[in-house]
């Protein structure tokens, strides 16, 4: 072997040795690139059976509700008026005209004529008959037909001799002349027990005009609700009222106004208020609000309830590429589901293989 050949062989051996060394260094010196990372831990939850409810909280005002104006009728001079804060019940004097009391009756029809002739038929007669009965007077029975033989319409009554006799006894108890007749302006018809909220007239004013303003007798909460949303609220529905101190008290929907306020042609463009309807809510226990005369409160309405349904946290839903949703099982398999109500971070689910207690993956 020549000297030149020996040198070449030595160089080749050195290159191979260096290459092998580099290879070993690459394989052992980069564990991050050569070793697979552990899969991240998953969070699981169970499919539960529960009741879901759709609720919303709205601003309300605690007080005695909206005012209603009381107008006098007939002729005469006002001689006495009640005080603000007085309460008026059935059969008691609301105000005085020519030193004669004008008592309050409850109903929905004002006295629009003089009731003086037996045989008169009408809703005003029914108001008189209902109220005297409620006051404990013997009004006798009501016929089913009028004198001409026609059937009495619903909500109407006949001025019978027994009813006239009851009117006389009532007038005598009031200290007025027992004539047995009721003229326009001699009684005031209200929708129910009320509280005097304002006195608009003075003694000496003519009776024909605005005399008083009244509110409900008990405290309630007035809640303006969007006119397009009020249809989901029902009279008698249970609600929860949160007071200024954070206490939550039970209440119920007492009435829903038929009058829409606000709105107009520019309401939807930021140029005015949206149309609303007042919903009146009454606390179940008057003592819960006895110490408050007026306050801003929150009212929680529950509009829809789905009972005994299967539900999971919203984070457990998997959106499918082809549309719809699924739940991911702990082994990675997907189970297609139909979704229902969303409420309180939960969603109603149903579908084949979806059962109570099923373990599914959810977002952490």
Instruction: Give the tens place of pLDDT for each residue, 293-315.
Output: 899 999 999 988 899 999 999 99
Measured in degrees and rounded to the nearest 5, phi and psi for residue 293 equal -90, -40
Three-class DSSP category at 69: strand
Is domain 44-53+305-362 given the CATH code 3.40.50.970 in the classification? no
Give me the residue spans of the domains in the chain: 44-53+305-362, 55-64+218-304, 69-216
Q: Are 68 and 313 in contact (CB under 8 A)?
A: no
Q: What's the whole-model pTM score?
A: 0.65
Helices (H) and strands (E) in the chain, counts: 4, 22
Which residues fall within 8 angstroms of residue 118, CB to CB, at 6 or more apart? 159, 160, 161, 164
Query: What length does the chain have?
Result: 364
Own/partner long-range contacts of 315-324 (Cβ < 8 Å, ≥24 apart): 315/362, 315/363, 316/45, 316/360, 316/361, 316/362, 316/363, 317/347
Instruction: Give the tens place of pLDDT for each residue, 257-278.
Output: 999 988 665 545 455 578 999 9
Correct CATH for 55-64+218-304 of 2.40.280.10, 2.40.10.10, 2.40.30.170, 3.40.50.2000:
2.40.30.170
Judged by average pLDDT, the poorest of 266-270, 279-283, 339-343 is: 266-270
Domains 44-53+305-362 and 55-64+218-304 share a fold: no
């Amino acid at each position: 072997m020549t000297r030149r050949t020996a040198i070449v062989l030595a160089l080749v051996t050195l290159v191979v040795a260096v290459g092998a060394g580099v290879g070993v260094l690459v394989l052992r010196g980069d564990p991050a690139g050569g070793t697979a990372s552990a899969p991240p831990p998953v969070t699981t939850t169970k499919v539960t059976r529960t009741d879901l409810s759709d609720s919303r909280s709205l601003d309300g005002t605690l007080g005695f509700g909206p005012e209603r104006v009381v107008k006098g009728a007939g002729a005469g001079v006002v001689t006495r008026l009640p005080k603000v804060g007085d309460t008026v019940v059935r059969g008691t004097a609301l105000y005085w005209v020519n030193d004669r009391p004008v008592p309050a009756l409850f109903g929905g029809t004002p006295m629009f004529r003089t009731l003086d002739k037996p045989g008169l038929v009408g809703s005003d007669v029914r108001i008189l008959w209902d109220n005297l009965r409620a006051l404990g007077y013997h009004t006798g029975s009501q016929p089913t037909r009028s004198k001409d033989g026609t059937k009495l319409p619903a909500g109407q009554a006949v001025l019978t001799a027994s009813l006239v006799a009851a009117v006389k006894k009532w007038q005598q108890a009031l200290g007025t002349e027992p004539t047995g007749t009721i003229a326009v302006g001699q009684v005031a018809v209200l929708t129910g027990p009320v509280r005097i909220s304002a006195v608009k007239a003075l003694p000496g004013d003519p009776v024909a005009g605005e005399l008083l303003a009244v509110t409900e007798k008990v405290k309630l909460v007035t809640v303006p609700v969007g006119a397009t949303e009020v249809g989901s609220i029902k009279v008698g529905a249970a609600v929860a009222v949160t007071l200024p101190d954070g206490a939550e008290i039970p209440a119920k929907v007492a009435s829903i106004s038929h009058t829409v306020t606000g709105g107009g042609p520019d309401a939807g463009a930021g140029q005015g208020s949206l149309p609303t309807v007042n919903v009146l809510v009454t606390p179940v226990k008057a003592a819960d609000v006895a110490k408050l005369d007026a306050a801003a409160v929150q009212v929680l309405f529950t509009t829809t309830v789905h009972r005994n349904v299967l539900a999971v946290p919203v984070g457990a839903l998997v959106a499918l590429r082809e549309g719809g949703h699924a739940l991911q099982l702990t082994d990675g398999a997907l189970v297609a589901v139909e979704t229902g109500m969303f409420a309180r971070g939960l969603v109603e689910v149903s579908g084949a293989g979806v059962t109570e207690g099923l373990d599914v993956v959810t977002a952490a």
